[in-house]
Structures are given as structure tokens and as C-alpha cells.
Amino acid sequence: MLYRVEGIVIRSMDYGEGNKIITLCTKSHGKMGVLVRGAKKVRSRHAAATQLFTYGEYVFFRGMGQIGTLNGCEILESHHEIREQLHAAAYASYAVELVDRALQDEEAGGYMFEQLLAYLQGLCEGKDEQVMTHLFEMKLCQAVGVAPELNSCVCCGRNDQLVSFGWRLGGAVCSTCRKREHSQYLSPLPILKLLQVFAHTDLRRVGNVKVKPETKQFLRTCMRGYMDTHVGVRCKSTSFIEQMEKYDLAPPKVQEKPEQHTEKLEEQVQDDAKLAWNQDIKLDE
């Protein structure tokens, strides 16, 4: 059967003499594997189509129960900006690996395709890689059905007085239960507010995300702890990100975007949740 599908390359590996096998996250058919003959040859017209993060329309033939064989590809967005920047490439590699490993074929539906595409576009536009990646993790957790409980206390069930995010516990913790838990596994209030915003944010509508450095630091601890405990997929690309952070390979300063982007995300945020975005708020309140 001949397929014509829009897809994003989430995995690309060498296969045999000069060939590659790519895994696509497609808009209409979940994840699909496609063999690209001769992709490693210098003058292959398909070489660009096999690069990680490439978004294109792929045409391939696939027999019953077999892997597809590429006939042609029209590249819609190469996302080359990501491959040219160490930080963006590291985070995006993690995101596509997560899609490859954490999602079943049927879970990688149209919604996750759109979220991944918006995520990659955001990185190309210079949005904060780390924050965008945590947002993407949240969308993935929701798609897989392991999203954190953020609207009621995971210990007692009450839905008021929520003061913290407990990543080991898997969600919000109220002021009473907080006293009984180990504080090293609990976040300050702004992180909970931020995650509540993430849960309701579609990556296609995200403006220029600004989160102050201390909040980002805490967010990283919380999301990594949460992903390790509740998703349990250890990605190879995670260790590269950790190395990058360890040696403090700071990303190059991204030029500020014009103001038109900045308001969009905040518009969706409830008033109290806006606290999380306030540059003046103290984390250890």
C-alpha cells in the first residue's frame, strides 16, 4: 500500500550498506518505520529527509506487516536551527527519544504530532529550551495517562490549600499533608502554579516563555524526579543534558523577541497562577 503522510523524524539509524531506517511520528498513523535506501550516499536526494527533527511529507510503500520503503519526501521544515545549537539539539534529542520510547504507536496520535511540531518550531524561534521541554514532558504524560494530579491533594484529596508539588507522590500536596512529607521531595508553591499552567497549555499557543533561573532550577529537579518515578523511561539523551549542565555549557544569549509573543501564555493563566511568572516572587516563601 502506498502511504503519503506528514511526519517528523524522531529516530534515524544506519542500516546495512548505505541505508537508513527512520522512525516517523506521523500526523495520521502514529509512529511508522521507513527504510531509506542509499540515504548515506553523498549525493542521495533522500539524505536530508532522514535527519532528526525533519518535518516533511513522506511517500512510501509498505506491505502488510512490513517496514515501509521511501519513494519520495517533500521537506516542509528542516528545523536545521536546532541541529546547529548544542542546547537546542540536546533537549530536542531528548524530546524525540521520549516520543520514540514512551509512546505506544497508537498513543502517538495527531495531538502528540502537533505538540511535537510546535515544540520544535518553538526551539527554532529561540524559546527557552528547558522550559519548552518540561512543557512537552507534561503533554506527553497526559497523552500516556500518567499526568500528575494538580488540582487536589494526592494524600488526602482536598482541593484547597494546595501549597506544593510532591514529585515522588505524583502531584499537589496540601498545607496539612505537607508537614508529614519529606521536604526534599516537595516543591515551593510557584512550581505547583507553574505546572498547573503547563497542564492547561497547548504548545501551539505558547508565547515567549520567561521563567527566572531559580524557578527553572527547581522545575528541572521536580520534572526529572517526576519523570523518573512515574514514567520510568530512561533516555540516553538525558545523560548528555546532565553532562551539559554539569560543565555549565551556557547557551548563547538569544536575542529578545518583540513583545507581541510575550502576552499570549499569560492570558491563559489564572490570576493566582500569574504569581509563578512574577519575577519578584521568592521561591522559599
Q: How far is the CB of 20 from Zn ion (least distance, A)?
A: 51
Please identify, using beta-carbon distances, which residue of 29 and 193 lies nearer to Zn ion: 193
User: 161 with 172: CB under 8 angstroms?
Assistant: no
Please identify, using beta-carbon distances, which residue of 174 and 265 lies nearer to Zn ion: 174
* Binding window for Zn ion (CB under 5 A); candidates: 43-51, 137-145, 155-163, 258-266: 155-163
What mask, x for binding Zn ion by CB under 5 A, covers residues 111 to 150? ----------------------------------------
- Please pick, from the candidates 156, 202, 263, 270, the single residue that binds Zn ion as defined by CB under 5 A: 156
Q: How far is the CB of 183 from Zn ion (least distance, A)?
A: 15
Q: How far is the CB of 171 from Zn ion (least distance, A)?
A: 10
Please identify, using beta-carbon distances, which residue of 13 and 156 lies nearer to Zn ion: 156
Q: How far is the CB of 193 from Zn ion (least distance, A)?
A: 17
Q: How far is the CB of 155 from Zn ion (least distance, A)?
A: 4
Q: How far is the CB of 150 from Zn ion (least distance, A)?
A: 13
Q: Considering only residues 162 through 191, tell me which ones interact with Zn ion, judged by CB under 5 A.
A: 174, 177
- Please pick, from the candidates 47, 67, 76, 155, the single residue that binds Zn ion as defined by CB under 5 A: 155
Please identify, using beta-carbon distances, which residue of 168 and 212 lies nearer to Zn ion: 168
Report how far residue 54's alpha carbon sits from residue 73's, in angstroms, rounded to the nearest whole number. 11
What secondary structure, in 3-state letters, does the chain show?
Answer: CEEEEEEEEEEEEEECCCEEEEEEEECCCCEEEEEECCCCCCCCCCHHHHCCCCEEEEEEECCCCCCEEEEEEEEEECCHHHHCCHHHHHHHHHHHHHHHHHCCCCCCCHHHHHHHHHHHHHHHCCCCHHHHHHHHHHHHHHHHCCCCECCCCCCCCCCCCEEEEECCCCEEEEHHHHCCCCHHHECCHHHHHHHHHHHHCCHHHCCCCCCCHHHHHHHHHHHHHHHHHHHCCCCHHHHHHHHHHHCCCCCCCCCCCCHHHCHHHHHCCCCHHHHHHCCCCCCCC
- Binding to Zn ion by residue 249, rule CB under 5 A? no
Q: Give the number of other CB atoms < 10 A from CB of residue 194.
A: 26
Please identify, using beta-carbon distances, which residue of 73 and 174 lies nearer to Zn ion: 174
Report how far residue 241's alpha carbon sits from residue 159's, in angstroms, rounded to the nearest whole number. 36
Please identify, using beta-carbon distances, which residue of 34 and 169 lies nearer to Zn ion: 169
- Please pick, from the candidates 153, 197, 227, 269, the single residue that binds Zn ion as defined by CB under 5 A: 153
Q: How many residues bind to Zn ion according to rule CB under 5 A?
A: 5
Please identify, using beta-carbon distances, which residue of 173 and 191 lies nearer to Zn ion: 173
Chain residues binding Zn ion by CB under 5 A are 153, 155-156, 174, 177
